A and B are shown apart, each in its own frame.
Chain A
Amino acid sequence: MDTLNALMNGFGDALTPTALAAALIGALLGTAIGVLPGMSPTVAIAILLVPSMQLDGIDGLVLLTAVFFGTQYGDSLSAILMNVPSEAPAAVIARAGYPLARAGKAGPALAIAATASFAGAITGLIGLGLFAGLLSDFVFNFGPIEITTLIFFGIIALCRIAEGSLPKLLVALGIGLMIPTVGFDPIDTIPRFTMGATTLLQGFSLVPVVLGLIGMAELMEIAIDPTARKPVKVGRGLRALLPERAQWRAAGPASARGSVIGFIFGLIPGPSLSLASFASYRAERTLAKNRAEFDRGSFAGVAGPKAADDAAVSANIASLLTIGIPFTPVTGVLYAGFLLHGLHPGPLLIKDSPDEFWKLVAAMAIGNLALLVLNFPMVGIWIQLLKIPQRFLAAVLALLILIGSFSLRNSALDMLVTVIAGVVGYGLKRIGVDRIVLIVGLLLGPLLEDNFRQTMGLSGGDLGIFLDRPISLGLLILTVLVLVVPLLFGVARKGDTEPLLELPATTVPGDVPSDQTKKETE
Chain B
Amino acid sequence: VGLVKTVPIGLRRVLEYQLGVPLGEEPVHRTLPRTAMRIVVAVGVVAVVIGVVLYAKSAVHYGIGSIKKPGGGMYPLIAVSILALGLVGMAVEAVRGTLVPPLAEDEKAADLAGAFRASAVVVLAVIYILVTPTIGDQLSGVLFAVLVLFVMGNRLWLTLVGGILLGLGAHALFVGVLALPLGHGSGI
Please report A residues at the B interface, Cβ cutoff 8 Å.
Answer: 33, 47, 165-175, 177-178, 181, 185, 187-188, 190, 192-193, 219-221, 223-226, 228, 391-392, 394-396, 398-400, 402-403, 406-407, 410, 412, 415-416, 419, 422-423, 426, 430-432, 445, 448-449, 452-453, 456-457, 460-461, 463, 505, 513-517
Contact = CB atoms under 8 A, between A and B. Distances in A.
Contacts of B178: 33, 47, 407
B32 interface: no
A174 B87 CA distance: 10
A398 B87 contact: no
Interface of B is mostly: helix
Nearest to A454: B70
B129 interface: yes
A193 B55 contact: yes
B109 interface: yes
A167 B166 CA distance: 42
Nearest to A455: B70
5 contacts: A171-B83, A171-B86, A392-B158, A432-B100, A457-B69
B80 interface: yes
B101 A505 contact: yes
B125 interface: yes
Contacts of B102: 505, 516-517
A165 B91 CA distance: 12
Contact of B121 (A174, A185, A193, A223): A223
B76 A395 contact: no
A174 B166 contact: no
* Residue in B118, B128, B144, B181 with the greatest tally of chain A CB atoms within 10 Å: B118
Nearest to A460: B68
**10 shortest A-B CB distances, which residue pairs?**
A167-B89, A174-B83, A170-B86, A461-B68, A514-B104, A505-B101, A171-B86, A177-B79, A224-B114, A174-B82
B68 A174 contact: no
* Residue in A188, A403, A516 with the greatest tally of chain B CB atoms within 10 Å: A403
B72 A185 contact: yes
Interface of A is mostly: helix
B82 A517 contact: no
Contacts, number: 197
Given A171-B90, A190-B62, A224 B106 contact: no
Contacts of B132: 412
Nearest to A193: B58
B37 interface: no
B157 to A, nearest CB: 12
Contacts of B115: 224
Contacts of A170: 82-83, 85-86, 89
Given A395-B163, A407-B180, A516 B76 contact: no
A56 B148 CA distance: 46
Interface size class of B (residues with CB under 8 A): 35 or more
Contacts of B88: 167
B154 A392 contact: yes
Contact of B125 (A398, A505, A517): A398
Interface string B20-56: 0000000000000000000000000000000000010
Contacts of B126: 416, 419
Nearest to B141: A399
B186 interface: no
Interface string B57-71: 010001000111111
Nearest to B175: A403
* Residue in B86, B174, B181 with the greatest tally of chain A CB atoms within 10 Å: B86
Contact of A445 (B79, B120, B174, B181): B79
B162 A392 contact: yes
Given A168-B86, A461-B66, A402 B106 contact: no
A457 B66 CA distance: 10
Contacts of A412: 129, 132-133
A150 B120 CA distance: 43
B3 interface: no
A391 B17 CA distance: 12
B62 A178 contact: no
B9 interface: no
A400 B148 CA distance: 13
Contacts of A430: 100
Contact of A192 (B58, B124, B153, B181): B58
A85 B151 CA distance: 25
Nearest to A226: B152
B82 A513 contact: no
A224 B82 contact: no
Contacts of A505: 101-102
Contacts of B67: 456, 461, 463
B144 A398 contact: yes
B72 A223 contact: no
A395 B180 contact: no
B82 A165 contact: no
A449 B88 CA distance: 25
B72 A419 contact: no
Nearest to A520: B102
Contacts of B182: 403, 406
* Residue in A33, A170, A415 with the greatest tally of chain B CB atoms within 10 Å: A170
